[in-house]
């Protein structure tokens, strides 16, 4: 069984790589790292802070989906950060965090890493990680009745990263057809150095922290990196499921400057800012572009 995560080591990794001292906690079992973090933000806990869980009993994904995680199998993390609402590019945050996760995986030598709009990370055509971002007004002041700062927003960035799904598959709780994990890709890609779960967790944390630290100055840059290196859907046949459950089919054409999905449907280009997207077979050939780095 993979080793237990250590808060002290995770905190030291952020301090060394990002020059930031922040509270990091590791729970043996919790309902949801995002739910706990939101409650802490409501109570006025100082930002930023992060938490990890060895086991999640009620993990949540986008659009109400459940994310199963038995003890010490995968990585569940939530980072809580304060963002200034006067910076009006927060719509770029999900893709920016996705870029952080992709670059964390690539730092270990992993290849074929892509991002499926709006915030799923894929390796070798299969999902390996997902993001759930939630917000709450920042509480300030030292009194018992804290007040909200209308200029600041507490953003809870939840990340679920598949490390070893063997137990889930063996117990019949998860099919592995459309999913992959770190251990599988280490073997499939012949990565010489085995990636321990603690090492992956530390890399994930400081890459996400780095994006948060630089988001105000580099948000547009992260968007360009996504477009040039990681866009999984672009030029592929996709199905769009809207909130109304209506399903539309078309060809993805990339994203707008506001990180909205562009899809050509029956000859007309349409824009989507919220939807479930699935990629269909018979995809269109992707034309490579010049990579952009941050």
Residue of 46 and 280 predicted with greater confidence: 46
The confidence score (pLDDT) of residue 284 equals: 43
pLDDT confidence of 171, banded at 50, 70, 90?
Answer: low
Rounded to two decimals, what is the model's pTM?
0.88
Is pLDDT of 274 > 90?
no
Question: How many Cα atoms are found within 13 Å in the side-chain-facing hemisphere of 200?
Answer: 32
Instruction: Say whether domain 237-279 belongs to CATH 2.30.30.100.
Output: yes
CA-wise closest residue to 2 among 191, 239, 186, 275: 186
Once rounded to an integer, what is the mean pLDDT over residues 273-283? Answer: 71
Architecture per CATH, 7-230: 2-Layer Sandwich (3.30)
Strands (E), 28-146: 49-53, 75-84, 113-116, 120-123, 126-140
265-to-107, 247, 250, 269, 292 alpha-carbon distances in Å: 37, 11, 5, 6, 29
Percent of the chain with pLDDT over 90: 66
Mean pLDDT of 170-179: 61
Alpha carbons 162 and 201: distance in angstroms, whole number? 11
The dihedral built from the CA positions of residue 11, 16, 20 and 21, taken in this order, carries a sign that is: positive
Query: And the tokens for 178?
Result: 């459309």
Q: Between 282 and 214, where is the model more confident?
A: 214
Residue 61 predicted with pLDDT over 80: no
d(CA 70, CA 57): 8
In the chain, the percentage of residues whose pLDDT exceeds 70 is 82
> Closest Cα to residue 186, out of 116, 105, 69, 71?
105
Q: What are 183-198's pLDDT values in tens digits?
A: 999 999 999 777 899 9
The closest of 202, 220, 208, 137 to 163, measured between CA atoms, is: 202
Which range has the top average pLDDT, 11-15, 88-92, 164-168, 275-279? 11-15
Report whether pLDDT(27) > 50.
yes
User: Which of these ranges, 116-120, 175-179, 202-206, has the smallest mean pLDDT?
Assistant: 175-179
Q: Where in the chain is the domain with CATH 3.30.930.10?
A: 7-230
Sign of torsion over alpha carbons 209, 213, 214, 220 = positive
For residue range 100-147, what is the model confidence (pLDDT) as tens digits?
Answer: 999 999 999 999 999 999 889 999 999 999 999 999 988 765 544 555
Comma-separated ranges of CATH 2.30.30.100 domains in the chain: 237-279
Please, what's the b/e burial string for 214-235 (b: 16 or more CB within 10 A of its CB; e: otherwise)? ebeebbebbbebbeebbbbbbe
């Amino acid at each position: 069984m993979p080793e237990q995560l250590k808060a002290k080591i995770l905190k030291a990794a952020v301090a060394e790589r990002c020059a930031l001292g922040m509270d990091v906690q590791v729970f043996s079992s919790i309902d949801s790292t995002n739910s706990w973090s939101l409650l802490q933000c409501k109570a006025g806990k100082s930002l930023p802070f992060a938490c990890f869980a060895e086991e999640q009993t009620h993990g949540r994904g986008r659009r109400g989906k459940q994310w199963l995680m038995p003890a010490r199998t995968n990585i569940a993390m939530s980072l809580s950060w304060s963002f200034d609402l006067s910076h009006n590019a927060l719509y770029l945050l999900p893709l920016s965090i996705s870029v952080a996760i992709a670059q964390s995986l690539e730092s270990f030598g992993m290849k074929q890493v892509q991002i499926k709009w709006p915030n799923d990370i894929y390796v070798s055509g299969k999902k390996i990680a997902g993001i759930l971002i939630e917000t709450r007004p920042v509480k300030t002041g030292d009194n018992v009745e804290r007040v909200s700062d209308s200029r600041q927003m507490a953003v809870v960035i939840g990340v679920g990263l598949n490390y070893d799904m063997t137990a889930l598959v063996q117990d019949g709780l998860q099919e592995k057809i459309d999913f992959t994990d770190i251990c599988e890709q280490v073997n499939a890609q012949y990565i010489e150095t085995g990636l321990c779960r603690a090492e992956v967790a530390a890399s994930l944390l400081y890459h996400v922290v780095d994006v948060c630290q630089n988001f105000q100055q580099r948000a547009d840059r992260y968007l360009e990196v996504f477009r040039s290196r990681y866009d999984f859907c672009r030029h592929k046949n996709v199905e769009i499921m809207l909130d109304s459950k209506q399903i539309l089919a078309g060809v993805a054409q990339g994203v707008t400057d506001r990180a909205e999905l562009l899809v050509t449907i029956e000859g007309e280009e349409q824009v989507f800012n919220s939807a479930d997207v699935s990629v269909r077979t018979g995809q269109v050939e992707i034309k490579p572009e010049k990579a952009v780095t941050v």
